Amino acid sequence: METRIIGLTNLFSASIVLEEPWYIRSIETHGAEVHVYVDIREGNMLPCAECGEMCLRAGYEKTERVWRHGDVMFYPCYVHCRRPRVKCKKHGTKVVSAPWARKNSRFTLLFEGYAMLLLMDMPILKASRLLRCNEKSLVRILRHWVGEAVEHDDLSEVKQLAIDETSFKRGHSYVTVVVDALKRRVIDVEKGRKAEAVIDFSYHLESKGGSCENIESVSSDMSGAYRSGIEYCFPYALHTIDKFHVKKLLLDGMDEVRRSEQKEHTSKILHLGRRLLMIPDTKQSVTQQEQTNALCKKYPKTGRAYRMVQALDIVYASHSYEEAQERLKSLCSWLRRSRLEPMKRVGLTLQKNAKEILNVFITKLTNAICEGINSMIQAAKRKARGYHTFEGFSSMIYLIAGKLQLACPNPLRLWE
């Protein structure tokens, strides 16, 4: 019995953006694969791949090329073509570009667009299984589209920055992430976490229309490397150390106190209480507050360290710069006189960075913005897990948090 299929060729043509003089010669199935053979009609002038000038035809490329296309009824689909050549007066003999793929890619544009959609939402390993395409090829696709969008990025309006480090390859390598604090998007990812990373960013900024002299404020952690990079590159910027990093310093100090007190008492309860103590008292439930009070009473050193952490929130709740300055000063002296080694060290670090910590009361960089930026970077980092090279990891951070304008086609909008 004969089966009639109507309109399938047209659908294929649309999905690989075929227009005259290109046409589909045949569609065949070989085993569990679908193969689409594309040809081009004789006799037309065609555009040179370099300059776009219409030129006379000059035969075909030597061998047929194959591109992977989106699956058809869950079977892998391939597009075949021997592309024609033209003789350009300026560029000599050139192969005509196929409208369904970008130069040097073994995938159709629509396949790449679909791959980008998947990469936004799932780990690379999973995307690679669903697409039946190896991870290396996926990273190449990702790098191309992200790289192209970054190339056209406009940084001329950037005035406020947040700079932070993040690790990859299980903590063996670091990258520096630069965020436009006002637009809340990642604008650069650089190798390493030294002053050079900040300097490299400054070149990137200026090459994309921005200016180092326009930078009004920069927030970062307390590392000396960032500090010197920031002072060198952004002479007019107010440097702020954001609350997130100050708080982390105190929490780490408290945890060290807890661990040593735990050893003294060989206490399991204190170990179980470590998460409880990380919750600020204002955000604890009544039961949690009771448990914390009991824990702090029984273990006085940890208890004191916990109260010091809470005192930091009081510094940040100040209504003026002067008030905050006063409160930070008394917190520092409390820490230094605490007879708890880790807290004493924290006190000294805070004192050394007091000016930058208090700058937050001058800049308009609110805690909400800093926290938002931090959670954005964390989300990007989770998605970038599984990328083993700097290029893959940084492209993923850009894709998730860069708010980029990607030029690849979206296959879900084919019928719009």
Contact set with Zn ion (CB under 5 A): 48, 50-51, 88, 90-91
CB of 90 to Zn ion, least distance (A): 5
| Residue closer to Zn ion, measured from CB, 88 or 373 | 88
* CB contact set of 54 (below 8 Å; sequence gap of 6+): 45, 46, 47, 48
Cβ nearer to Zn ion, comparing 53 with 290: 53
Least distance (Å) from Zn ion to the CB of residue 53?
A: 5
Identity of the residue, 51 or 56, whose beta carbon is nearer to Zn ion in the bound complex: 51
Single out the residue of 247, 255, 252 nearest to residue 357, CA to CA.
247
For residue 76, which amino acid is it? P
Tokens 């400054």, residue located? 202
Task: State the nearest-atom distance from the C-beta of 413 to Zn ion, in Å.
Answer: 32
Dig out the tokens for 17 from the structure. Answer: 């953006």
Rounded least distance, CB 46 to Zn ion, Å: 11
The helix/strand/coil state of 286 is helix
Task: Report the C-alpha gap between 376 and 185 in whole angstroms.
Answer: 8
18: alpha, beta or left? (left if phi > 0; alpha if psi -120 to 50): beta
Instruction: Give the number of other CB atoms < 10 A from CB of residue 43.
Output: 7
Please identify the residue of the shown chain whose CB is closest to the bound Zn ion: 48
Give yes or no for a cis peptide into 21 (omega within 30° of 0).
Answer: yes
Which residue, 68 or 85, has its beta carbon nearer to Zn ion?
Answer: 85
Which of 84, 77, 96 lies closest to 36, judged by CA? 77
The distance of closest approach from Cβ of residue 52 to Zn ion in the complex, given in angstroms and rounded to an integer, is 7
Closer residue to Zn ion (CB): 46 or 181:
46
Q: Specify the residue, 54 or 379, whose C-beta has the smaller distance to Zn ion.
A: 54
CB of 164 to Zn ion, least distance (A): 46
Beta carbon nearer to Zn ion, 51 or 407:
51
Three-state DSSP class for 138? Answer: helix
> Which one, 88 or 177, has the nearer CB to Zn ion?
88
Contact 101, 62 (CB under 8 A): no
CB of 61 to Zn ion, least distance (A): 16
The number of CA neighbours under 13 Å toward the Cβ of 151 is: 8
CA atoms within 13 A on the CB side of 176: 25
State in angstroms the smallest separation of the CB of 60 from Zn ion.
18
CB atoms within 10 A of CB 201: 24
Alpha-helical segments (H) within 59-186: 109-121, 124-131, 135-151
